[in-house]
Amino acid sequence: MKIVYSEEYLKHRHAGYHPERPERLVSIREALKGVSIWEEHLLTPGAVDLRHLKEVHSEGHIARIREFGVGWMDPDTYHDERTYEIALLASGGAVAAALHTYDKKEPTLALLRPPGHHAGRDYNGGFCYFNNIAVAARALQMERGVKRVAIVDVDVHHGNGTHDIFLSDPTVLYISTHQWGIYPGTGPLEEVGRGDGEGYTVNLPLYSGHGDGTFRMLMDEIILPILREFSPGALLVSLGLDAHYMDPLASLTLSSPAYVELLLKLKEAADDLSEGRISYMLEGGYNLDALAEVFRGLALHLTGRGEEAEYRYSDVSDPGDGGRVKRLKEEHGKYWKI
Ligand SMILES: [Zn+2]
């Protein structure tokens, strides 16, 4: 297991309070150091190759992020002196993680800031500037000739940027679990991709209160079967921790142990389908304790020390909403054997 991280990621910051803040990464870093999982696992990235970035974003968008200056790009997304430079480094981290995992067949945890999944070809939004995971998917295709890449997005928000970038593309499967009715308002169940990409967008909108039980059902009955049928050469995970019940920005109710369990099921799928090629890339997640606990649990498991994982945030309030899962299966069952 490798950890992709740069101290530079801490230098993108808003002068006032903003939930997408450097302390998020500090909390994860200290939690991992606390269980002696740090130095020997570190892989320090460089800035993204602009050839990779331009496969995802227009020249106009890249220029706008480069030249914006200090201020608000939209009501959620600030820009400071170093944002452009550090956003390039975040996308570079995503690419470094994906290529390392591809070549070495070992998992990577990419502790990236700023996040990326709300950035589309021509737009920023939701604390995101460049779509790190989309750039990584394109780099795998360009540099390693990977035919099929799967992205599973467990952030509580719909990854509208990733969704839009691959909407017509059957070579990149996009599966997203997200809370319906919150930012950015996209990702309805019925949006399944367009043209050649029809069926390769799998939106799984959920409701306030859905958590451990419903996610387990989704994983076993929808996500894993679709991944097996798609048979990706690499699996990338948009790992947002904001579906955690402690998160202040949303109201899904995943617990820490359930998060880790779900992420390890994706690892097992990658072991079966793509020789263990899985990269987890940080997106959102704003409760510092939840971030620490889930990443520590995941890292312990990925380094063979799973029995040491301990969780404070393990309440389980959702036994599983079979009716909702049935409805989601009906829609995506038009395209997949689920
Ligand atoms: Zn989010």
- Can you give the residue ranges of every domain in the chain? 2-332
How confident is the prediction for the chain on average, in pLDDT? 97
Fold of domain 2-332: Arginase; Chain A (3.40.800)
For residues 298 and 288, what is the distance between their CA atoms, to the nearest angstrom? 16
Set 117, 118, 163, 244: catalytic member: 118
* Cβ atoms of 65 and 130 closer than 8 Å: yes
Distance 277 CA to ligand 1 centre (A): 24
- Per-residue H/E/C for 38-57: CHHHEECCCCCCHHHHHHHC
Q: Give CA torsion, residues 297, 300, 302, 305, to 10 deg.
A: -130
At residue 242 the predicted structure's pLDDT band, cuts being 50, 70 and 90, is very high
118 is catalytic: yes
CA distances from 94 to 10, 85, 237, 331 (A): 16, 15, 11, 32
**Which range has the worst mean pLDDT, 48-52, 79-83, 265-269?**
79-83
CA distances from 98 to 57, 68, 235 (A): 19, 29, 9
Mean pLDDT along residues 110-114: 98
Mean pLDDT along residues 12-28: 94
Rg value, the chain, Cα: 18
* Cβ atoms of 280 and 237 closer than 8 Å: yes
CA-CA-CA-CA torsion sign (243, 246, 249, 252): positive
**Per-residue pLDDT at 315 exceeds 90:** no
Distance 115 CA to ligand 1 centre (A): 9
At residue 201 the predicted structure's pLDDT band, cuts being 50, 70 and 90, is very high
Instruction: Locate 298 and state its tokens.
Output: 């995941």
At residue 47 the predicted structure's pLDDT band, cuts being 50, 70 and 90, is very high
Instruction: Locate 28 and state its tokens.
Output: 């994860």
**Per-residue pLDDT at 272 exceeds 90:** yes
**Per-residue pLDDT at 316 exceeds 90:** no
Q: Which helix (H) or strand (E) holds 25?
A: helix 23-34
CA distances from 86 to 29, 83, 93, 99, 110 (A): 18, 5, 10, 20, 14
Instruction: Locate 277 and state its tokens.
Output: 């090629």
pLDDT in the model for residue 146: 98
Distance 271 CA to ligand 1 centre (A): 27
Mean pLDDT along residues 222-234: 98
For residues 293 and 282, what is the distance between their CA atoms, to the nearest angstrom? 14
Predicted TM-score (pTM) of this structure: 0.98
Mean pLDDT along residues 180-209: 98
**Per-residue pLDDT at 15 exceeds 90:** no
- Exposure on the CB side of residue 43, measured as CA atoms within 13 A: 23
For residue range 286-302, list pLDDT tens digits in order.
Answer: 999 999 999 999 999 99
Mean pLDDT along residues 107-120: 98
Give CA angle at 227 (221, 229), nearest 5°: 95
pLDDT above 90 covers a percentage of the chain that reads 98
Mean pLDDT along residues 241-264: 98
pLDDT in the model for residue 288: 98
pLDDT in the model for residue 46: 97
pLDDT in the model for residue 317: 87
- Residues 6 or more apart whose Cβ sits within 8 Å of residue 291: 24, 27, 28, 31, 241, 285
Distance 318 CA to ligand 1 centre (A): 20
**Per-residue pLDDT at 222 exceeds 90:** yes
Q: Which helix (H) or strand (E) holds 24?
A: helix 23-34
Distance 79 CA to ligand 1 centre (A): 18
DSSP 245: T
